[in-house]
Structure 1
Amino acid sequence: MSSGLWQAGLKAWYGPATPWVRRIRSYRPDRRGRLVLRRWLRVAFSRTIALGAAAVVGGLLLTGREDALFVAAMPLALAAFCWRCSRIGIVLRPGEIVRYSVFHEVVVPAGAVRRLHRDSDRGNLVLETQAGEEVDFLWFDASLWDLLYDFSMVCQDAMWAHARQSRGEGHVPSSAALVRRFTWSPVGDLLALSAVACPVAGLIGRL
């Protein structure tokens, strides 16, 4: 993904032009050519809760209580869910727009994007493809980031600019269909597996 994305779509005013805000919204592709858009305040908050819950479990297990394995299941489940929530984001990669939710990802061929609009029933951002399929971006509207600058509009402009650029470069035909699939999270799934394994191990230990 070239610098044309920024020239095409990210010259709008998204907040006070202070050095700190400029640094926050100076999004650039990574080494693999991907642009990652996440609400980092939400990421930090979710992962702090997840790590705190995991620490509570460690403390419970160190106490040696008989019911520690049963009690640990709930904080482990909370940690697994919070870790998955921290993965919510939008990834723009060559020829594709990927939306990550808690359990699924939706891969939209950038060349197949018809429009981005907010005229849905809930008024949130929706991506519509040439085939009439829709992808909801409810998680990216009305957050604390928008008190600082309009991150929701940044996401919308970045996706639209990326779609225009990909269409112009002919990366993906407009007839390509989007793909929805379950996503694996090594950390989140390990925590979820532990939440199930702890009470099972407790029951086995009592037999």
Structure 2
Amino acid sequence: MTSGLWGAGLDDWYGPATPVVRRLRAYRPDRRGRITFARWLRVVLLRCFAACLAGLAVFAVVLHNEPGGEAWLVCALALAHASLMWRCSLIRIVLRPGEIVRFGVWRHVVVPVGAVERLHRESFRGGLVLETTGGIEVDFALFDGSLWDFVYDFSRVCADAMRAHTRSADTARGSRTATAVSRRFTWSIPAELLTACAVASLIAGVAGAVRT
């Protein structure tokens, strides 16, 4: 993989020898130099489910808005689940210049390539784990055992990509200067908007129940 991830995607790949799979393995960076790995089928399904729940919330308020605030409470419950589903769709791995970022449901972990000690399979569960020079372990178990593994070994693609990204960035000047692992809250406009609407619906429902 000395030629880079996108070259290796064509030369050293796993799965059926089809043009579609070959193209899927040829990951290329975007304009910001980032490569994103995600279970796109899961992303689509979760976001469609979130949209359906949001529609259910609107339906409950518009067509069943009876005195007592029950409809608003149903709306709040549906919007809360929609926000959670949207957040679950944010799970992904992003390879940025000099960094590996694992996005979770609520927070994302930023690991500088200078802090990467090794990538290995955790002995108990067998999931992919990134170990840093400071002894911190970052779990990538959610990227194992997916439908994509049966198509073109997605979990191994993620592991190979992170190893190649670490090696290529490690050769750059100053790559070992940043070694601090940081965890930050993941902001998402759709998820935060759904959460705000759920809170407003809950307040309206409680106010309606109190009035009756």
- What TM-score do you get using the length of structure 2 for normalisation? 0.90
> 1:22-101 residue pairs with structure 2 within 5 A?
22-66=22-66, 67-101=70-104
Does the 8 Å contact 2:130/2:139 carry over to 1? yes
Contact 1:9 1:161 (C-alpha < 8 Å) held by counterparts: no
Moved more, 120-129 or 90-99: 120-129
Distance in 2 (CA, whole Å) between partners of 1:193 and 1:98 is 27
**Which stretches in structure 1 are left out of the alignment for 5+ residues?**
none
Matches within 5 A, 1:140-179: 140-173=143-176, 176-179=179-182
CA offset at residue 174 of structure 1?
6.0
Please give the secondary structure, in 2, of the residue aligned with 1:169.
coil
Distance 1:9 1:204, change over 3 A: same
Which AA in structure 2 matches 1:40?
Answer: W
Q: Is 1:89–1:101's contact at 8 Å kept on the other side of the alignment? A: yes
The one-letter code of the counterpart of 2:114 is G
CA distance 1:171–1:82, shift in 2 (3 Å): farther
1:80-136 deviations in Å (ceiling 9; x for gaps): 011001110000010000000000100000122111000332110000112211100
How many Å apart are 1:7 and its aligned residue? 3.8
**Alignment-mate amino acid for residue 63 of structure 2:** T
The whole-number CA distance in structure 2 between the counterparts of 1:178 and 1:154 is: 23
For residues 4-49 of structure 1, what are the alpha-carbon distances to aligned partners after superposition, in whole Å with 9 as ceiling and x for unaligned?
Answer: 3334677322211111212222211011111011110110111011
My pick for the range that moved more, 195-204 or 154-163, is 195-204
For the Cα contact (< 8 Å) 1:112–1:172, is it kept in 2?
A: no
8 Å CA contact 2:86–2:191 kept in 1: the answer is yes
Tell me, yes or no, if the aligned pair for 2:47 and 2:86 is still in contact at 8 Å: yes
Q: Does 1:187 align with 2:181?
A: no
Q: Is the 8 A contact 1:131 1:175 kept in 2?
A: no
Q: Say whether the 8 Å CA contact 1:90–1:97 is kept in structure 2.
A: yes
- Which of 115, 135, 145 is the aligned partner of 1:112? 115
SS in 1 for 2:85: helix
CA contact (8 A) 2:86 2:190 kept: yes
1:167 and 1:9, CA in 2 relative to 1: closer, same or farther beyond 3 A?
farther
Counterpart residue number, 2:16:
16
Between the aligned partners of 1:16 and 1:104, the Cα distance in structure 2 is 35
Which of 89, 106, 128 aligns to 2:131? It is 128
CA distance in 2 between partners of 1:81 and 1:10 (Å): 37
Aligned residue pair count: 205
What code does the residue aligned with 2:150 have? L
* 163-172 vs 132-141, greater mean Cα deviation: 163-172
Whole-angstrom distance in 2 between the partners of 1:112 and 1:60: 50
Specify the code of the residue in structure 1 equivalent to 2:127: N
User: Structure 1 pair 113/174, CA: closer, same or farther in 2 (3 Å)?
Assistant: farther
Identity %: 56
Residue equivalent to 1:200? 203
> Aligned residue for 1:5?
5
Q: Distance in 2 between matches of 1:198 and 1:99?
A: 32
